[in-house]
Amino acid sequence: MANYREELLNHLQEKLGQHLQSAKIAHREVTIEVVPGQLLAICKTLHDEFGFEQLVDLCGVDYSAYGQTDWDVKANDTGFSRGVHSDVHQENNSSPRYAVVYHLLSVKNNQRLRVRVFADGEYPRVDSMVNIWSSADWYEREAFDLFGILFEGHPDLRRILTDYGFIGHPFRKDFPISGHVEMRYDAEKKRVIYEPVSIEPRTLVPRTMRQDTQHTTES
């Protein structure tokens, strides 16, 4: 007899097959990839007919440079090699750069489901799930703040973790580690001001990890 994951997978394929780009069991959890234009309708079906009454988590993903050798980490006297090229993108992958992943729970059926949808563009857009799961409110604001993903129909899509004047989206892989600007309180102007980043580059790699020879001593 098939286990509950296989039963759920088969049921999803029978009901939603034409609207799914893929459906499989990955990392011990049923995972489906949804056609972007069908996301709202499918999630409503998952809530109403499959009993997934809880949205446990929602997160953005940046697949830039995913699987490319540029992301192999090497350490030297100037720092880590990972992410040194800001223009690297999925040149060898036809999938869009950004995705939104939803983790759903059915308490009634004791089942979990992972849903993924891709969205392309500098400011990718997907439908908001707030009207289906109220917990999506802050999760979507977080994904917007950190990844720049826009959620159509969200009632109050504002930053939630960074400052209102923050520039960029810090979880994008091309975002500089030191950021773009820094802020401080100016006693003379009696307000917070923004200035260009003044952090001096410094070596963050322990000597024992470096591959250069400048710290070795000859016996």
Helix and strand totals (H; E) in the chain: 3, 11
Q: Are 97 and 62 in contact (CB under 8 A)?
A: yes
- Mean per-residue pLDDT over the chain, rounded: 84
pLDDT score of 184? 84
Residue 219: the pLDDT is: 47
The reported pLDDT for the residue numbered 66 is 78
Do residues 201 and 80 make contact, with C-beta atoms less than 8 angstroms apart?
no
Backbone angles phi, psi at 165, to 5 degrees: -90, 10
pLDDT digits (tens, 9 = 90+) for 177-209: 777 788 789 999 998 888 887 777 666 666 666
Residue 201 CB coordination number (10 Å): 9
What pLDDT is recorded for position 89? Answer: 44
Domains of the chain: 4-209 (3.30.460.80)
pLDDT averaged over consecutive 10-residue blocks of the chain (219 residues)? Answer: 83 92 92 93 96 97 76 59 49 75 96 94 92 97 96 95 85 83 87 80 65 53
**Closest among 103, 6, 8 to 49, alpha carbons compared:** 8
The confidence score (pLDDT) of residue 181 equals 80
Q: Quick one: tokens of 10?
A: 């088969």
Joined tokens for residue 54: 């809880």
What is the spatial distance between Cα 172 and Cα 184, in angstroms, rounded to a whole number?
24
- pLDDT at position 148: 94
Contact (Cβ atoms closer than 8 angstroms) between residue 166 and residue 159 = yes
User: Residues 38-55: pLDDT tens digits?
Assistant: 999 999 999 999 999 999
pTM above 0.85, yes or no: no
Which of these, 191, 163, 194, 192, lies nearest to 180 by C-alpha position?
A: 194
